[in-house]
Amino acid sequence: MSLAIFDLDNTLIADDSDYLWGQFLVDQGIVDKDHYESANAKFYDDYKQGTLDIVEFLRFSLQPLANNDPEQLYQWRAQFVQDVITPILLKPAQQLITKHRDRGDTLLVITATNRFVTEPIVKLYNIENLLATTPEFVAGRYTGGFTGIPCFQEGKVKLLDEWLKSSTETLQGSWFYSDSHNDLPLLKLVDNPVAVDPDEKLTEFARAADWPIISLRQGQCPAEHFHK
């Protein structure tokens, strides 16, 4: 029995939930289209290039939570999950999760996308443990700020370390599945790093390090790496 860690965006789902949530807000007329759409696209490009200023991005992406009543936000989020996320869930991802669950592994999703967006998505895969950037919630409303460490790059390692100290889990025999070179700090830490539909930088690194490279977007769940 080991710890099986999964990235979320472009790993367990076939797109980026953070970016898609921003586009959903634009499409619903909740935010200003011209400003928000262009900024959202730029931040997403920065992320893919590995140059994202995570604090600046969080100030941008969490502001709509502060500008709206929580009950209304929850209604929009439910619509977003149903209309936008459900179609991009990946059956091979569910099969991979089931393989780990059947082995008795502890399942954990760790994602830079904030908990407000990701919590209901992770529940669709029946995974109970989630580490994510946490929006600040004070006196019944979101503030637009965040609490603790942003769950991004080295921040994922720090938050995982804190989580491990409060649990009985260890990294012995651990797995981590991710698509992004932004996750290299954590991929290098686990015993079984797996590149999933990886970006160009991660593909290059994974090949040089002789890490498994799999796809959860084509056919059945690949099993050839899953032998330990």
User: Tell me, what amino acid is at 95?
Assistant: Q
Instruction: Give the residue numbers annotated as catalytic, written as ranges.
Output: 7, 9
Query: From the CB of residue 104, how many other CB atoms can be counted at a distance below 10 Å?
Result: 8
Residue 201, phi-psi category: left (phi > 0), alpha (psi -120 to 50), beta (remainder): alpha
HEC states along 112-155?
CCCHHHHHHHHHHCCCCEEEECEEEEECCEEEEEEECCCCCCHH
Q: Establish how many alpha carbons lie within 13 A of residue 28's alpha carbon, considering only the half-sphere containing its beta carbon.
A: 18
Please say whether the beta carbons of 182 and 111 come within 8 A: no
